[in-house]
Amino acid sequence: MKARLWRGGVVATLAGDSGWGLIDDGALLVEGGLLRWVGPSADAPPADDIVELRGALVTPGLVDCHTHLVYGGNRAHEFEQRLLGASYADIAKAGGGIRSTVAATRAASEAELLSAATKRARALIAEGVTTLEVKSGYGLDCATETRMLRVARQLAGLGVDVRTTYLAAHALPPEFSNADAYIDAVCRWLTGLSDAGLVDAVDAFCEHIAFSPAQVGRVFDAARRLGLPVKLHAEQLSDQGGAQLAAGYRALSCDHLEYLSPAGIRAMAEAGTVAVLLPGAFYALRETRLPPVAALREAGVPIAIATDHNPGSSPTLSPLLMLNMACVLFGLTPEEAWRGMTVNGARALGLADRGRLVAGQRADFCVWDGGHPRELAACFGHNPLLERVFEGHQGEA
Ligand code: NIG
Ligand code: FE
């Protein structure tokens, strides 16, 4: 196995629980897809091959831990409706929203879904994403949920690690009038999809326009029986107590959380559940209620951020913009935002082998035209990626 040394860069390791872990003239030794050594260039071990970084900035690869990347159609008309005064919930109650994307997704072939999702994944990769979570949830029948998850798995061919999440409990499909009967079906389908190796985690939408905590609990019981970890779209539009429910199942993450209560924060802190904040959805829906960042910090709840790419509430394909928005809209520090899209994003997916630049971790990293990672959080609408390294391989930038 050949060892390649990258040397002469500003390396932001994010080692430890706080601080940037900056090495001013730093180097990384990569072998077999892993980081074998990270430290000052002057102390670097011998290598078969050397890449000069010429003072460029090196960070962990970005982890986008919450996306709905696979779907048909688009919802730009709802953007217009919201600007004319309709709310996201009004549109959903009138049969639009998620259900409109369900109709377009059911009508799309696997090849069409793959082609559209490939373009979106390429846009994320072009900004440095090396790990990508993709949810189902626009099929809401077994065949289309399966198709979505198969397409998500195929995105791995682009040179990105893909984690799939089963989100059939996203909305009530038109052919069901009884939500409990639909939840029975959601639980039934999960067994086959899990046996087929298509599911890494299970998610649900706990909200007054979606499913109740009791219904979500039944989905989580089914996940638990199969040994699958859970996550939750929780307290996005109202406080349903979803965070406490999810923490009771030791959920990997609760996501959105604008209406998270102090009791929810305590439960998440005790369970080690990550708070995934989604500034794209907050921005696009013109929300005014902020997630309780100071209280999350104080309770020691790890904070992640993600694009939440979807055609309705967050049609963004820019993780770099989310770094900036997490700071400007939610008041995260640039370091918190970076940890949110690296090490804590990985944790929200149950992954401990990435997100920091330390020996033993996967060799997933980005080389940027810049001198300090805070520059990337301060800037927006600009992509200074020079090189993206995935499992030790240089790819497209
Ligand atoms: O994360 N909140 C629920 N699910 C998505 C939006 C889905 C949609 O509007 O299509 C979200 O915001
Ligand atoms: Fe989402």
Per-residue tens of pLDDT for the chain, all 397 residues:
899 999 999 999 999 999 999 999 999 999 999 999 999 999 999 999 999 999 999 999 999 999 999 999 999 999 999 999 999 999 998 989 999 999 999 999 999 999 999 999 999 999 999 999 999 999 999 999 999 999 999 999 999 999 999 999 999 999 999 999 999 999 999 999 999 999 999 999 999 999 999 999 999 999 999 999 999 999 999 999 999 999 999 999 999 999 999 999 999 999 999 999 999 999 999 999 999 999 999 999 999 999 999 999 999 999 999 999 999 999 999 999 999 999 999 999 999 999 999 999 999 999 999 999 999 999 999 999 999 999 999 874 4
Atom of ligand 1 nearest to the CA of 256: 1
Domains in the chain: boundaries: 3-60+356-396, 63-347
Sign of CA dihedral 323, 327, 329, 332: positive
pLDDT of residue 396: 45
Task: With residue 23 as reference, give the H or E element that holds it.
Answer: strand 22-31
For ligand 2, the distance from its centroid to the CA atom of residue 305, given in whole angstroms, is 12
Strand partners, 134: 164
The answer to whether 114 and 377 have CB atoms below 8 angstroms apart is: no
The ligand whose atoms approach the alpha carbon of 315 most closely is 1
Distance 67 CA to ligand 2 centre (A): 6
**161 has which bridge partners?**
131
**Ligand 1 in reach of 138 Cβ (< 6 A):** no
Distance in Å, CA 97 to ligand 1 centroid: 8
Q: Which ligand is nearest to the CA of 205?
A: 1
- Which residue has the CA at smallest separation from atom 11 of ligand 1? 313
Does residue 293 sit in helix, strand or coil?
A: helix
Of 122, 11, 107, which Cα lies nearest the Cα of 60?
11
Which residue's CA is the closest to the ligand 1 atom numbered 1? 308
Atom number of ligand 1 nearest to Cα 210:
3
Q: How far apart are CA 138 and CA 117, in angstroms?
A: 13
| Among the listed residues 36, 9, 79, 59, the one whose alpha carbon sits nearest the alpha carbon of residue 310 | 79
pLDDT on residue 297:
98
| CA 98 – ligand 1 centroid, Å | 7
Q: 3-60+356-396 domain in CATH 3.30.1330.60?
A: no
Q: Give the three-state DSSP class for 88.
A: helix
| Pairing mode, strands 49-52 and 3-12 | parallel
pLDDT at 394: 87
Q: Is the CB of residue 308 below 6 angstroms from any atom belonging to ligand 1?
A: yes
Domain at 63-347: CATH code: 3.20.20.140
> What is the torsion angle, in degrees rounded to the nearest 10, for the CA atoms of residue 364, residue 202, residue 331 and residue 128?
20
Ligand 1 centroid to 282 CA: how many Å? 11
